[in-house]
Chains A and B, each alone.
Chain A
Amino acid sequence: MKPRNLNILIVGVGGQGTLLASRILGTIALNSGLKCKLSEVHGMSQRGGSVVTHVRWGKEVFSPIVCEGDADYILSFETLEAIRWSSFLKENGHIIVNNQKILPMPVITGKDVYPKDALQILKDKNLSVIEVDGLKLAELAGSSKAVNVVLIGILCAKEKIELNLAKEAIKQCVKEKNLELNLIALELGYNAL
């Protein structure tokens, strides 16, 4: 299927590769003739803080950012971040969650406790939650850093986007030496749904 107008929010922890993910999604849109705008985070929040990247696909796109309650998809690279940004999801949107837990500093210092049933909190909100052990699949593909591409694979499967379209975009965005593992990560994600 051809990609349709979509608002996608990519959330995670600084250093998890949200920027590459958004560039791949942007390239998928361009290659299929859609307009696209991306909004990224640079600077201070990249130092292990909560990060969010906005992706908008459409016949015509003005604002580069997705508003609260307006995301068709949230790709969350981390569980707590999925909860933090879940209010951005549309009523019939899907939140794809890598079930990895990265402890924020208040938890590391013992000031706060990481929610035990983090995914349940999302499900209790009646959201469409797609849970995946992205880290395991990424490691299987050859690098723990490929969680971002695993999640893109799941998005493509859910949206029935042709796998080749995503492969082509990855070829355009990823360095030669990392290409192979990222293509494997994509397929693992695609087939995980």
Chain B
Amino acid sequence: MGSLLLANEAIALGAFESGVKVISSYPGTPSTEITENAAKYDSIYTEWAPNEKVALEVAIGACFSGVRSMCCMKHVGLNVAADPLFTLSYTGVNAGLVVVVADDPGMHSSQNEQDSRYYALSSHIPMLEPSDSSEARDFVKIAYEISEKYDTPVIIRLTTRIAHSRSFVEPKERDEILNKTYKKDVSKFVMMPAMARLRHLFVEKRENDLSRDISLFNINSTLMRSHKLGIVCSGAVYQYVVEASDASVFKLGMIYPIDFESVKTFASKVEELIVVEELEPFIEKELLSNGIKCHGKELFGRQGEFCVSYIRRKLEGIIEEEKSGNKIIPRPPVMCAGCPHRSVFYAIKKLKLKVSGDIGCYALGALEPLSAVDLCVCMGASIGMAHGFDKGNTGEAENMVAVIGDSTFLHSGINSLINSIYNNGTSTIVILDNSITAMTGHQDNPSTGKTIKGDLGHKIDLYSLCLACGAGSVRIVDSYNIQEVISALKEEVSKKCVSVIIARRPCALLNKKYPPAFYIGENKCKYCKQCLAIGCPAIENLGNSVRINRELCVGCGVCTQMCKFGAIISEDR
């Protein structure tokens, strides 16, 4: 029976139906649910790798060994996996390999708006882009066929609006795919200059062959309506375009390489050809450089997501009016009530330390009222950036700490720790160990010791790991204990060596057995507003008094350390 599936769930279904045996990924919004859902199938070995590079290498090994494999990530994850990706293009595959990458136009949950389509172009790997969940499943099957027929990895590109939209999908029979045999082949699997030179020739031939054959795969489609205007588009934009105008539409299912012959035929049937695409003018430039007259980007912006009415307005040439009216109070995301990161950031702020930050829930420490984060660039960057401040020798590093989560530390922070130690750095690093990959929805990681399927794995002990790397000082503190965190920070920041403070407390959302909530004792509160300084969403400022929202309070007790008057009382007292 069919049901409404996220495209991410449909990709997992497609992997199951295509007989995929190994999936290795690192979580990242909006791609996480693909691997989470694939883990529900017994026939697929699924794992969370510490980062996308490792994940892709695992998928490469699996496909070389003879089984179909997959690797899923968000757009910035593909930067991490780019090193193996580019050479994988040369080696090609044994059994099929599909990389799924999810872009995030509009940056719902990302630090940039990069357009991953350029990876296909520069690595010469075919890229497919589905426009709904059913197509997402179908394209997985086609991707494996292409992968094995043309000896190439295939990238499936999603955007947030496809990955996180639900539409109807009817399951199909699972194909029982026989494993391929592995045969030693140095010319194909060992990429040294002499072999790689030959494989580069192969890559060029492969792309020419595929370009010639695209129409065989029935992956692009044409909707002939008006002969005045034709629109070329793909993915979510296709769905908007169909509703926004009565133009004829050429939908690219394969966005690299582009089937120029079919687009030329389509272009010959319409008076004007417009490309509608989010982010960069990727398709437009490809068409122009192949002699197909078209335009588009001068009408449509490079930023954010499109929708039906936006496309309609742009096609009709309506100039956007400045929005007027009253500003509505913003509601930014916040650290949850009881979040163990909050008290650590409060301690850091109290000591007026600079924070070289990182990617995870704790990036929210940048927002008011904590406003504690100075820098945030990419996964794992906090430690390297702090070391850079250190080596710049401007004195600015004197009062700086690097702050990184457990999962992000193991993703790529660990390399930077090794670098700082090796190169005689003096940084202080705070690992916020909440025992989970929280922001993406609670995935296990090497430091939790549990696998994606819920089995016991080998737990990586962060304390021993940092010691083994040679950190001058490693200590564990309780994130909830503000005084303890402050003392540790003072001592470690003053040391002339690399030191690591592991601030430990599980994510508040993991604990289902909360201690009783707190309340404000009558007549005890002087409305000094000290408790508000930690920015807990459960503590409300009523203008002349303070109230604790029982619905939200999880009884962490951090606020009681803020109150000089003993006015914050546990309910069971």
Q: Give A contacts to B, CB under 8 Å.
A: 13-14, 22-23, 26-27, 30, 35-50, 61-65, 67-70, 80-81, 83-84, 103-115, 144
Contact = CB atoms under 8 A, between A and B. Distances in A.
Interface string B326-351: 00111111111000000000000000
- Among A14, A62, A68, A104, chain B packs the most CB atoms within 10 A around the CB of A62
A45 B328 contact: no
A30 B168 contact: yes
A44 B362 CA distance: 11
A58 to B, nearest CB: 10
Contact of B161 (A50, A64, A81): A64
A105 B367 contact: yes
Contact of B242 (A22, A50, A62, A103): A62
Interface in B536-558: 537, 539-541, 543, 551
A49 B541 contact: no
A30 B239 contact: no
Contacts of A37: 132, 165-167
A39 B133 CA distance: 11
Q: Which 6 A-B pairs have the closest CB atoms?
A: A43-B109, A43-B29, A49-B333, A64-B165, A104-B331, A47-B333
B6 interface: yes
Nearest to B8: A42
A49 B439 contact: no
B329 A114 contact: yes
B307 interface: yes
B381 to A, nearest CB: 18
23 contacts: A14-B333, A36-B4, A36-B167, A39-B164, A40-B165, A42-B109, A42-B441, A43-B439, A43-B440, A44-B333, A47-B361, A48-B334, A49-B331, A49-B333, A50-B330, A63-B240, A63-B307, A64-B166, A67-B307, A68-B309, A106-B329, A108-B532, A109-B368
B30 interface: yes
A48 B537 contact: yes
B135 to A, nearest CB: 13
A36 B132 CA distance: 12
Contacts of A108: 532, 535, 537, 539-541
Nearest to B369: A109
A48 B4 contact: no
A3 B164 CA distance: 24
Nearest to A78: B331
B236 interface: yes
Given A36-B167, A63-B307, 4 more contacts: A42-B29, A43-B30, A43-B441, A83-B328
B331 A110 contact: no
Contact of A144 (B4, B108, B551): B551
B328 A41 contact: no
B532 A104 contact: no
A110 B541 contact: yes
A38 B364 contact: no
Contacts, number: 155
B440 A104 contact: no
A65 B3 CA distance: 19
B415 to A, nearest CB: 25
B108 A44 contact: yes
A114 B328 CA distance: 10
Interface in B224-278: 236, 238-240, 242-243
Contacts of A14: 333
Nearest to A13: B331
A14 B333 CA distance: 8
B329 A112 contact: yes
A78 B161 CA distance: 24
Interface in B443-465: none
B7 to A, nearest CB: 10
B388 to A, nearest CB: 27
A57 B336 CA distance: 34
A160 to B, nearest CB: 24
A114 B330 CA distance: 11
Given A44-B109, A108-B541, A109-B368, A63 B308 contact: yes
B108 A43 contact: yes
Given A63-B240, A83-B328, A45 B4 contact: no
B200 interface: no
B529 interface: yes
Contact of A38 (B166, B239, B551): B166
B166 A30 contact: no
A135 to B, nearest CB: 9
A64 B236 contact: yes
Nearest to A105: B334
Nearest to A65: B307
B535 A105 contact: yes
A114 B551 CA distance: 19
Nearest to B540: A103
Nearest to A38: B166
A109 B532 contact: yes
A27 to B, nearest CB: 7
A80 B561 CA distance: 32
A125 B243 CA distance: 28
B378 to A, nearest CB: 15
Contacts of A26: 4, 166
A70 to B, nearest CB: 7
